[in-house]
Structure 1
């Protein structure tokens, strides 16, 4: 008996049980309650009646123990737990009904009778309900029940047997131990992730709910359980979420490889959904394959490099063969035109001599006849000039080379050029400081500059700017290897630039051909550029055309430097080692011509830079946005679509500190003053040597903001 249970006060007898009284429940109706400690139901207190009614109406197993002896009343769902103890247990003391477990539960019962609620989960008990003791597990809640005065008079128990569940768990144990052993010992990383809703939307994040020890060894991130992916790897989380969310929603397992950017590990992964889908979980098995990936990548890069080198060699040979064919063509045409010019000169000599004799001996007093003779003489003079041009192209004209200061020669042509250009053309001369001397025929050089200037004038019928520039230049083996008959070394450059209509690539390839002209009939012989070409080649030099439609044209003449000549205005420059990169600086090459872009990429790679490439301004800006490591943009000035000025403006707007170095076949002064680039933008003229590229790139990168 429980000593601290208060005595139930004696209530006056109720004449009869009213309908709805709990004692009238079918389960309780057959019990002689007067023979029990609870007494006649007509005398039950209101709290007892209410509690019994609640127990009888419940669909879950419940019992109530009341009074000094804790007499039991229970509902039908509880009968299965009693087994053979029913129906004798109705009205019997709780201790006698469950005597075999009393020592296990009496302390908990006393807590409830002291006014304290009790809750237990899966409590093991040895019960005897079918004539033998057997283990059983119960989850239950003890709730104290009070009378009208607030004193505890009994307790009510809600109980459910969990024996089957516990036995299954003891069995849902051997497999667990096996899994745990495998989980802890396998070399591959393993985890279970659970998707959660986040600020980025439903299923926009996941948390690691399980991870084995090999997770850290393979991924390089320890203690991931409880971590959200957007906190672990915020920069790359979106990609991982998308992959695993697709697995969760589709139920389709996947295998893939991906770099974990945070640790630089390259992982081989397999992922599958954990059923049911309502758990919102995905299991992932993975291993670190960084070394294998690097080996494969190195092999691919080696193959790519070999293929690229083979392709470069083929391209180089094709360019050299094309240059050779062009040179041979020009040589053959030169020999032909030279022979024609010589024969034509001989015939002209006969005509001129005959006209002179005719005028002197027979027609001196005949004014009309003399007018015809003079007309014929003018025609023969023009024909003689034509043959001189043919001889110049064929490199058979008589030259009188001497030490030439090109700065003085250009400066001395100012008046002649202004007279030849007319008022609509603005002329600018930019003379290089410390200019070397060259060994050339000054009259022929002057004639070449004039020819180029006249061509430039004709390309600017509505006016424009003509720029004549001089500079020292060095053509290296890399450049001259693709130019037949050009030797590496030091040259004096004279460039003539215009802002005219420009040339197509097809026109550029034929520009030096004799008699080729794009001018209408009667406006040109097609021998002006041919004469320049012949003079430069006969002088051991090189000539190159750069042009863009609607942008303008630059023709650069390279004449060999005259060594051992007194150069009073030359300042010796100390030879410095070629500046190389440490391999950590990234340069973006922007060039629309693939062969030129490839050459620049190869040169910068040779100098130790990491190189990205783009074929135009729009593509360049995308790379600039996605590659913050870019330290320098090396771009052509004139490109289709977005030109150099627009690209420079966009680069300055997006990344003000990003360095920009432009290159062009035009001279710097021609380009800047034509408004293509802002003043102050760095520019490297084509062709450039590897030394020049190395020095200018290094200078721009090292230049302070």
Structure 2
């Protein structure tokens, strides 16, 4: 029988660790071969191996390790490497701790620890462990300490559970202690939100009422203004009458301004948003502010670097800042410091606390701060309401701040005010960041185009207000048109369905009865051929607008309008309708079924109709002025405010020239040209750009020409020369036909 098996039987050791101890080469250690061990060492090993709790024996000065099965499980990945290994090498991360244990116990002392925290590497990574440790000396055959017996009971799970019960009891105590405060805070926050909601609902209700008042007020002004213009035409040589008419007209203009302020608060004014650079805008207002505020007010500007652009109505923004500056001047009683600043601000979701707070996102914030008397809370609560003012009678209408409020809200922004008695006031205007760049400023076209007179067409005027209706009839009759009238939508439909020839539907938007102006315009569009429509409204946010746009084929004229405005708009609508019908008739009689329009040279030889220009310009004033210029030059003109509407027009009619601004909302003018050329390959493309003739348009467009804004009449005539020649040919052809 082999020695180890015989020795194993003799010692009576059993278990996995007993076999490992028997098989280990102890001769390589200071303990020597196992058969030479002294009785005391054998007895100690036998006790360790037989114990069910984790035990480890550290024998000799170096603490050679002998342990049982339970300790092997505790050792984790270090088993069986620890067997026969000096303790400081086996557990190097706690070498100092174990050295102290060996010193104490080999000196005859004992040690014990309760929930001792150690960091051990057991399974390839550091672990926080807690243990109950008991150390006592082991004697040799002579009774002197020769080793250490360590009882190791891991308590990690119990300690962690206890701590979790405690990292929980503490949270519960804190929750209990703060519950009352949290309830109070929640109730306070709810009350604040409810107050903001009530304020927002009140402002909305006031806005609806104000918008309705302004609408009716504009109707009254329209009657007055129309009759004044008619009187001016009928008494051109009477100086006294003309003087009185001029005075009354100025009063109408003041009333119109008042109505515009009301509409601004009601968020129903017509805005012309464009990309604005805040730094340029504030610096450009310097002279205006100094004139308005006087020498005693010191104006400071604090503009952050790299300010974001915003997309707003530039004129309205300037008016808003000027209004705030004038209010500040009055609050400082003509002497103090006014600070205008602009900063980039990013609002996170956590910063939004109420219904009337700005949504999270990037904002450009204008701040106007004064060193004036300030306002108490009860005044601050009402400052944005129309006609509310703290000034004496005759010193302001109380519409300044309400106009600013409405403009900011209609622009998708937010307004905030901070004021207290004795420490001045700060008003902040938040506008959403615009990622677009600012185009070069374009000068307006000269306002020297003669207003077109009327024609012999028949116009159906639909207006429920008798005075307004009669005034419109007088104006249109003076212009040479035949006029039919209807007091409501039902009467207008009867006339439209009676077979009576009608060339234009001129209707108010808001009327009593089930049929409004919007419904009439839909019925007119369904006629064959479609009946052109000119809508008139006291404000521009009636139900006729869909996402801020008019339905195709519908033009809107705002009240109060001047006689010249009416003449120009009526003529433009009639001309556009005549052009569309003529083109559709020509296409219907064409021998080819091709969907492509004629090439430019082919159109030039067909002198029966003037060439058609598709004008695309998002700025209303610029578009209307350019349309008048093109019409005056004898060209037919159809216009659109963006690429989407332009393509819709191009799918229904043939055009010879595309005259488009390069910078448009949505699709650019260059992309529009590429798309249009796929529909009508022979179109001449003229791109207008504030960046000059070197503007970067991307992929080249065959035959396209760049015109630098502002465009003078000579440059425009030169660009359109081939088509203006066909206008002359058309006139000659008409004379020949007449002869």
Give the TM-score taking structure 2 as reference length: 0.36
Structure having greater relative contact order (Cα 8 Å, sep ≥ 6): 2
Whose Rg is larger? 1
Give the TM-score taking structure 1 as reference length: 0.37
